[in-house]
Amino acid sequence: MKKLDAFLLILLIIFSFFALFPIYWTVITALKVNSEIFTIPPVFFPTKITFSNFYTPGTTFGEVSQTAFGSFPWLINSTIIALASSLIGTFVIGAPAAYALTRYLKNVWFARLILFMMMIPEAAFIIPFYVIITKLNMINTWWGLILVYISFTAPLSTWLLMGFFSDIPKSVEEAASIDGLSAFSTFYKIALPMVIPGIMVSIILNFINAWNEFIYALVLTYTPFPTGAQTVPLYLTDFIVIEKSFAWGGLAAAGVIVMLPSIILGIYAQKYLVKGWTMGAVKE
């Protein structure tokens, strides 16, 4: 067993290195001066630390600020859109749908159909969504992207929360019914508080997916806050002016800022994530 433990530890170190190195490289690139960014062989430990890539007044690259400071209008859009689509997809649609499928419909094939819908590539829905959002006069608006993002936040929440609701003993809900609670009150007052770990996992995953989404934002938006709804993934592409021309320092600094919400949220909700992954399994 000791040899096996040592082997697993080595594998864990290797996988951790490959997972964490891109984050480390992005951070040190954001802190490097330009001369060290383009040095060959590459500099793994910067000798000069600079924060000019995060904010240098008047520095431009193409049509955008060369530093990460210019990303805040896009960050505002991403925060509002990701939060709204995550909360609506989880609380308004996902949780009630999961509860209904678990307690009333009890059709596992319908639940699998929800999962299959999540496997369809985003590109297959671009034209229908563009037509719908255009007809609703929501192009380049928060609500336009929020409605589109709900198309993948709600199915994920539904599928994930079905496992949590199925773990709730029916005797608890029967006791609530005897006490005079309606089915609606039983859901919101009894069942929903008992699946808080699942709710947290769902919100975190949906937020990260919405935060990083690119294709829908590219097609349905064209200006940043306050005139439009472009998100940070689109802002990062503005550091590419022409082929093979990048503002690497500003791009890395903006990447660090974009990573922070997901990292902070994951650390804050770590206990919910651990408990959630161990509980969430759909029962047939």
Q: What is the CATH number of the domain that holds 257?
A: 1.10.3720.10
Neighbours of 275 (CB within 10 A): 15
Q: Where on the phi/psi map is residue 58: left (φ > 0), alpha (ψ -120 to 50), or beta?
A: left
pLDDT at 72 over 90: no
- Residue 84 within a domain: yes
- Residue 52 within a domain: no
- Residue 25 within a domain: no
**pLDDT, tens digit, 9 for 90 and up, residues 138-188:** 999 999 999 999 999 999 899 888 888 888 887 887 787 787 778 788 888
- Residue 153 within a domain: yes
Say what the alpha-carbon torsion angle 65, 149, 262, 76 is, to the nearest 10 degrees: 40
- Residue 64 within a domain: no
Judge contact between 121 and 63, C-beta under 8 A. Answer: no
- Residue 99 within a domain: yes
Number of domains in the chain: 1
- Residue 34 within a domain: no
Residues of the domain holding 140: 69-279
pLDDT at 197 over 60: yes
CA distance 130 to 270: 37
In a 10 Å sphere around its CB, with 0-12 CB exposed, 13-18 middle and 19+ buried, how is residue 109 labelled? exposed
Judge contact between 81 and 142, C-beta under 8 A. Answer: yes
- Residue 178 within a domain: yes
Q: What is the pTM of this model?
A: 0.81
**pLDDT, tens digit, 9 for 90 and up, residues 14-70:** 888 888 888 888 888 888 877 777 777 887 888 788 777 776 655 554 444 555 666
